[in-house]
Amino acid sequence: MEIAFANPENLWLLISIPVIIITHFFVFGFLKRRAMRFANFEVIRRIVGPQGNIANVHFVSSNIPLLLLRILALALLIFAAAGAQLRYTARVASQSFVIAIDASASMLANDVAPNRLSAAKDSALEFVNKVSEARVGVIDFSGAAFVKQPITDDMLAVKSAIKAIEVENVGGTAIGEAIITASNMLTQEYQAKTIILITDGQNNVGAGIGEAIEHASANGITVYTIGVGTESGGSFIKTELVSKLDEDSLRKIANYTGGSYFRAGNMEDLRRAYDSILLTKVRKTSLNLSNILLPAGILLIFIEWALLNTRYRTLP
């Protein structure tokens, strides 16, 4: 279990807390000196009696409880602005998936029958037929990532989007961009969030793998990676070109986001990979704390205002 922030750049606002503390005691000192300057000591002696000690009379309250309330309210609002999330591993009943399929030209290689792209699409369709209580989105990627179907519970639309995937004309393999695009699609989902990424290549354009991992992790997203293709490889588009699978990066992506890496050399391996993902009910999930922290911070501001105008009111 851990606390993470979707917008950590907003945490710099925490430097306002010591400024508020310094300002509070500066104002307190100023008010105290003013009170001493204009106090009617004769009246005070009558109040405390001849044996009373004027030094023990407090002309101005330091209002420490109000200061603590103000600090707590400000901290809660800053943490809400920073997108505080509670990350934990739990057994989940419902999930949101984004299926990201490599659509670069090398996916036409025939070492996985009939070719890598067709096998990836067919296995993805079988997966969609098996999911229940889930929302699914679809993207494909080559040198850029393309959203084919936003996240939905309409499985007919999802299957139609998968069937429509064809090789993209943009050269390269943008694995990092695909993960970031898929993560952005999942940020507004409130159930367990999972990316299933199928590729036969290595990241050679766009965002780096490290940036993609950081982005997915910051949003509480689990990434499962599937490397499709045999060790010997296969030819495509009547050339001798052979795509190289970067298994180390795919393992790194999966390990750092709480997922798993699968090597799929045939259609049956793809089915087993999808089935394993589907049967994994214990996943990394997150609770958006901003929805709790924001109203709590606003409530504390009203409480401080009420106390400031009643119990802790400073009389002229």
- At position 276, the amino acid (one-letter code) is S
Q: Pinpoint the alpha helices (H) of 187-289.
A: 209-218, 247-257, 267-279
**What is the pLDDT, as a whole number, of residue 119?**
93
Instruction: Output DSSP code: residue 263.
Output: E
Q: For the segment 196-241, what is each residue's pLDDT rounded down to a tens digit? A: 999 987 788 888 888 998 888 888 889 999 999 876 666 565 555 5
Domains of the chain listed by start with CATH number? 2-83+290-308 (no CATH), 89-287 (3.40.50.410)
| pLDDT at residue 60 greater than cutoff 50 | no
Residues in the chain: 316
Supply the DSSP symbol for 51.
T
- Decide if 265 contacts 61 (C-beta within 8 A): no
Strand runs labelled E in 82-204: 84-91, 95-102, 134-141, 145-152, 192-199
What is the pTM for the complete model shown?
A: 0.64
Tens digits of per-residue pLDDT, 116-165?
Answer: 999 999 999 999 998 877 899 999 999 899 999 999 999 999 999 999 99
Mean pLDDT of the 177-200 span: 91
Q: Alpha-carbon distance 259 to 195, whole Å?
A: 9
> Is the pLDDT reported for residue 184 higher than 90?
yes
